[in-house]
Amino acid sequence: MQSIKDLLPKAVKQAGISRQIEAVQVVQTANEVIAELIGPGAIQRAQAIYFKDKTITIACLSSILSQELQLAQPQIIDRINQRFDQSIVAKLRFFM
């Protein structure tokens, strides 16, 4: 009998949802990195909400916070890519 740990990757691949799972993981990691760099309160005013084509979309409630995140963009991207051990994110996009 196989364990769930062994069966899960195959089932995910067969279901065709591996990209969606990866996107959710990238968004979650981006929010963790934002909280680490800017502070835990930043997540209430700025959140990564979408990942597609190597781009993370971040919604901001403040133009000042958006500018702060734009300045930290290289650090944010680098930390996310380090956690995934690959160049998974190339840029960030911001909207208010």
Write down the pLDDT at residue 71: 94
Quick one: pLDDT band at residue 23, thresholds 50, 70, 90?
Answer: very high
Q: With contact defined as beta carbons under 8 Å apart, do 45 and 64 qualify?
A: no
What pLDDT, in 10s, does the model give residues 34-80?
Answer: 999 988 888 889 999 999 999 999 999 989 999 999 999 999 999 99
Produce one character per residue of 55-81: b if its CB has 16 or more CB atoms within 10 Å, e if not: ebbbebeeeebbeebeebeeebbebbb
Q: What is the CATH number of the domain that holds 52?
A: 3.30.300.180
3-state secondary structure of 87: coil
Domain that holds residue 64: 4-95
Model confidence, pTM: 0.82
Domain count, the chain: 1
The more confidently predicted of residues 21 and 47 is 47
